[in-house]
Amino acid sequence: MNHKNRRKAKRQRWLQRKREKEAEERRKDRERRIEERAEQLIAMRANDSKVLEEPHAPEPPKKKLRLPTKDVAVKEINSNHIVRTKKHLGSGSYGSCFLAFYRGITVVVKELQIHSSDQETKEDAKKRTHNELLNEANIITKLGDHPGLPLLFGICSKSTPYRLVLQFHGNGCDSLTLLRALHSKLVAKKREWDAIMIKTAEALQHIHSVGFLHNDLKSNNVLLDKRGTVLTPVIIDFGKSRPISNPMGPKTLSLEEQVRYKKKYPHIAPEIVEGRAGQSVASDIFSFAKIVEQIYLKCKFEELPHLVTLCLSPSVEARPRCAELY
């Protein structure tokens, strides 16, 4: 290679490095502007929550709903339209949740993590997680419009990580679970807790009336959404939800395993753990009553209401229905 060609090659390498450096600077500048915009939107929402006063209008009479026989259409969302913030809202076996903005709307994005066991390949685990995403999205959509249930904007199912995009519920920009509210003593008066639990029972009754079981109702799966001065409970996480007509059967555990399971998952009805019966409306009722019991014990209220005590009965037949609780 002569001197002229070497100079030309050197200049081309220099131009390439310059273009790459400029592209990197543009990318960093774009990310900085997105983050600044996200912080502005967070501040705006926090300010709005302080001044918003929303009267608590009575709910219209509930209608008996029928379970749709076919899957309903769920909107596919372009992940490029989601602006993720650094605010992590929670995590579990499913993956994690974080605060984000979708077309200027405050949302929570639930990212499903792909876990592969020894018995399945990575591709099988990916397909299973994809099916779990579609199943949860379909159930939330079929549940319809109810103030005590999440509002689904859509899903990101074309590429991993698979995502559910839902309306954000909380206090300002802070996610507020019932468990967190209980430990922070944000709600102190018994009448306030009673009002929250009545609304939770109404939401659970709606789930059952549409034809579904929740199967994982606990204080960490109930959010409190501050609307003006009113705290409205919203039941979340339908990853284990199933149709009433197609529940999971009872577990097969040794006595030692049963003791460990009950200690780890006290909200699961005893008949499921002990292998006496499968999931049912009654097992959801038991889980609801465990939340009420948790509130009464933590707040040191008086004796549990008789109906709630019945809900905690080991006998499935002795437990009342949701409609009898409010």
Residue ranges at the known binding site for ATP: 110
Helix axes 281-299, 190-210, angle to 10 degrees: 170
Judging by DSSP bridges, how do beta strands 82-92 and 230-235 pair with one another? unpaired
- Is the Cβ–Cβ distance between 54 and 227 less than 8 Å? yes
Which residues of 75-174 form beta strands (DSSP E)? 82-92, 95-102, 105-112, 152-156, 162-167
- DSSP β-bridge partners for residue 112: 95, 162
Q: Which residues are annotated as a binding site?
A: 110
| Angle at alpha carbon of residue 288, lines to 284 and 292, rounded to 5° | 165
Q: Considering just the CA atoms, what is the radius of gyration of the chain in Å?
A: 24
Token pair for 206: 């709606």
| Angle at alpha carbon of residue 41, lines to 38 and 46, rounded to 5° | 125
Name, in order, each residue with C-beta under 8 angstroms of 245's C-beta and a sequence gap of 6 or more: 67, 211
**Measured between alpha carbons, how far is 269 from 265 in angstroms, rounded to an integer?**
9
First-to-last alpha carbon distance for the chain, in angstroms, is 89
Residues shown for the chain:
326
| Look-up of token digits 């579990």 | 92
